[in-house]
Chains A and B, each alone.
Chain A
Amino acid sequence: MLARRKIINRKQSSNSKNCCLYYAKDGQQYIVTQAPQVGILKSLGIVENAVIQKQLTYRMGGPVLLRIDSCEIAIGKDFAEKIMVRG
Chain B
Amino acid sequence: MASCHEILEDAAIFEKENKILLMGNPNVGKSVFFSQLTGLQVVSSNYAGTTVTYTEGTMELGGKQYTLIDVPGTYSLEAVSEAEAVAVRFMESNPLAVLCVLDSTNLERNIKLGLELQRFNVPIVYALNLVDVAQRHGVQIDVAKLSRALGAPVVPTVAVKGEGFQNLLAELEKIPSEPGLRPKFPPVQGDLWTRAKEIASQVRVNVSGELSFLDRLGEAMLKPWPGIPIALLVILASLGAIVGGGKALRAVLLLPLVNNVLVPFFKALFASFIPEGIFLNVLVGEYGVFVIGFEWIIALILPYVFLFYVVFSFLEDSGFLPRLSVLFDGIMRKLGVQGGSMITIMMGYGCAVPAIIGSRTATTKKERLIISAAVCFGVPCISQTGALISLFANFSPLLLVLMLLLSLAVMATVALVLSRVIKGDVDPMVIEIPNLLMPNGKAYGKKLMLRMRGFLVDAEGPMLLSILIAAGLKETGLLDMVAVHLEPIVSGWLGLPKDAVIALILGIVRREMAVAPLLAIQGLTALQAFVGGTVALLYLPCLSVFGILAKEFNAKVAVAIGVSTAISALLVAGIINQVAQLFI
A→B interface (CB under 8 Å): 38-45, 47, 50, 55-56, 58-63, 65, 69-80
Complex A-B, nearest 9 residue pairs according to Cβ-Cβ distance, in ascending order: A76-B428, A39-B80, A43-B75, A62-B330, A76-B429, A78-B428, A72-B433, A60-B330, A74-B326
Q: How far is the CA of A50 from the CA of B81 in the complex (A)?
A: 23
Q: How many residues of B contact A (CB 8 A)?
A: 40
Which one of B74, B76, B81, B107 lies within 8 Å of A69 (CB-CB)?
B107
Query: A44-B430, A44-B432 are known contacts. Are A58 and B108 too (CB-CB below 8 A)?
Result: no
Query: In the complex, how many angstroms separate the beta carbon of A74 from the nearest chain B beta carbon?
Result: 4
Query: In the complex, how many angstroms separate the beta carbon of B252 from the nearest chain A beta carbon?
Result: 43
Residues of B within 8 A of A70 (CB): 105-108, 137, 139
Beta-carbon contact of A40 and B109 below 8 Å? no
Beta-carbon contact of A77 and B109 below 8 Å? no
Beta-carbon contact of B429 and A44 below 8 Å? no
Query: A44-B432, A58-B329, A63-B326 are known contacts. Are A71 and B106 too (CB-CB below 8 A)?
Result: yes
Per DSSP, chain A at the interface is mixed
Beta-carbon contact of A76 and B329 below 8 Å? yes
B121 within 8 Å of A by Cβ? no
Query: In the complex, how many angstroms separate the beta carbon of B7 from the nearest chain A beta carbon?
Result: 23
Beta-carbon contact of B224 and A58 below 8 Å? yes
Beta-carbon contact of A75 and B330 below 8 Å? no
Q: From A72, which residue of chain B is reached at the shortest CB distance? A: B433
Beta-carbon contact of B81 and A65 below 8 Å? no
Which one of B108, B333, B338, B428 lies within 8 Å of A45 (CB-CB)?
B108
Residues of A within 8 A of B331 (CB): 60
Q: Mark B388-430, 1 if CB is under 8 A from A, else 0.
A: 0000000000000000000000000000000000000001111
Beta-carbon contact of B431 and A73 below 8 Å? yes
Residues of B within 8 A of A60 (CB): 330-331
Beta-carbon contact of A44 and B428 below 8 Å? no
Beta-carbon contact of A40 and B330 below 8 Å? no
B327 within 8 Å of A by Cβ? yes
| Subset of 10 A-B contacts with CB under 8 Å | A43-B74, A55-B222, A58-B330, A63-B326, A63-B329, A69-B106, A74-B322, A74-B433, A75-B428, A76-B430
Q: How far is the CA of A70 from the CA of B329 in the complex (A)?
A: 23
Which one of A40, A65, A69, A80 lies within 8 Å of B75 (CB-CB)?
A40
Query: A69-B200, A76-B339 are known contacts. Are A63 and B108 too (CB-CB below 8 A)?
Result: no
